[in-house]
Amino acid sequence: MNEWPNGWSGDQSGNRYGYGSGNAEPEGARAMPQVRRDAAPGYQRHEPPLPPSMSPHRGATVPPQQSQGYDDAYDSGYNTGEVYGGGGGGGRRGDDYDYGRAGRPRPRWGRRIKWTVITLVAVLAVASVATYFWADGKLRRQVDLSKVIDRPEAGDGTNYLIVGSDSREGMSAAEKQKLHTGSAEGKRTDSMMILHDGSNGPTLISLPRDSDVEIPSFVGSDSGKKYPGTGRHTKLNAAYAEDGPELLVRTVEYNTKLHIDHYVEIGFAGFANIVDAIGGVEMDIPKAFKDKNSGADFPAGKQTLNGQQALAFVRTRHAFAGQDLDRTKNQQKFLATLASQTATPGTVLNPFKLYPTMSAGLDTLIVDKDMSLWSLGNMFFAMKGVTGGEGKSMNMPISGSTGGNLVWDKAKLRQLVQQLNNDEKVTVSGN
């Protein structure tokens, strides 16, 4: 019986092909005759699928094959992809990919986004910790408030004594000339303010340097020797010149009866460098003024002040009728504006601005030994709140003058201190 379809024979050329010939010589390759699909009507040809190892894409489908003119009645399975083992082929798929119809890997975006966020958070955490220790290491904790004697009781909230000194430390001769600072030896207080940070908003109080105060008994910051009070009256900035920050704190506390929690001081160079680091401070100057002593020369209107101009702005007093009282108002206005314009996303989130600004301030900033970066940050944002309308700025209430010294209004001062100690809304008005 013939095993081949019609038109075929088991031996087309006299040789038996595919039956394991016993000839001594091996069978040579011979051409297969072209067979039409319709050579045997009704004949169903079944071809086994390729093994998975020979599949071009495991588990993928193959696009339909175009007919080459043959009868479509016969189906070899190639046009359905059955030759590749269907969609259930073997092979391990990566966890990060999903295979589509064309066999191309599609990334699993949810997984990638998760790891990207985790990496970003980790980097930010490391950067924040590194920044903290870097900044903390630059703080110059040189003032020891434990040397201050006979201190008043602390009230609610936090009181900062902020001092702008005329220190020329680290300045070259050219810088002194450019900034109109002069070349006086030592340092004195050029501005003094009390910043109270409490639950009723911040209150910024300027203390004119020409304020008439009594120098009380004190312990020398270097000698450790106690000096008794003699009832001697002098200008407030003389206390700083006599024995530095510790005596200044002692004198402010004695004459106000207000406890000072922290001390912060910045010199001329540091002040100008901070302004330059943030790209200047925009100010609205209501009236033009000049002062050859400070180098000020400002037209009226909105303008951006660089470090040199800012220093001249806050130091000018001879151009104003109120002298030191008018100067303290400008100092308050500028410092609050500086804090407001510094605490912006453009500075805080920009490392190319943030680090130079922090470095400029921390290099010349002098604080008390108990000052932390957290407390310093709270002071900074409290200062910003004064400009934002959350608080109040004022001069110390003045009742008159004696011998060129400004005398504080004692009745208003007592009321002011009581409100600050109780953390109440300040209703006292200053000059």
92 CB neighbour count, 10 Å cutoff: 6
Judging by beta carbons within 10 Å of its beta carbon (0-12, 13-18, 19+), is residue 207 exposed, middle or buried? buried
Entry pTM: 0.67
In tens, the pLDDT along 351-405 reads 777 777 777 777 778 999 999 888 988 998 888 888 777 789 899 999 998 888 9
Higher confidence at residue 298 or residue 106? 298
pLDDT given for residue 90 in this prediction? 46
For residue 281, is pLDDT > 70? Answer: yes
Tell me the average pLDDT of the chain.
76
For residue 26, is pLDDT > 90? Answer: no
142 CB neighbour count, 10 Å cutoff: 13
Q: Which two tokens stand for residue 171?
A: 């300045």
What's the rounded Cα separation, in Å, for the pair 425 and 134? 37
Ordered alpha helix ranges (H), 289-366: 307-315, 324-342, 345-348, 351-364
- According to CATH, the topology of domain 141-422 is Aminopeptidase (3.40.630)
In tens, the pLDDT along 43-87 reads 455 555 555 555 554 444 545 555 444 444 445 444 444 444 444
pLDDT given for residue 404 in this prediction? 81
What's the rounded Cα separation, in Å, for the pair 189 and 245? 10
For the chain, percent of residues with pLDDT exceeding 70: 68
pLDDT given for residue 269 in this prediction? 74
For residue 270, is pLDDT > 90? Answer: no
Higher confidence at residue 285 or residue 74? 285
For residue 233, is pLDDT > 90? Answer: yes
Are 288 and 313 in contact by the 8 Å Cβ rule? The answer is no
For the chain, percent of residues with pLDDT exceeding 90: 32
Are 261 and 420 in contact by the 8 Å Cβ rule? The answer is no
What's the rounded Cα separation, in Å, for the pair 74 and 37? 6
Instruction: Report the range of poorest mean pLDDT among 171-185, 260-274, 372-386, 402-416.
Output: 171-185
In tens, the pLDDT along 175-195 reads 555 555 555 555 667 789 999
Domain ranges for the chain:
141-422
> 194 forms bridges with which residues in the sheet?
161, 205
In tens, the pLDDT along 101-114 reads 555 666 677 778 87
**Please, what is the angle between helix 373-387 and helix 324-342, to 10°?**
110
Written as one letter, the residue type at 164 is G
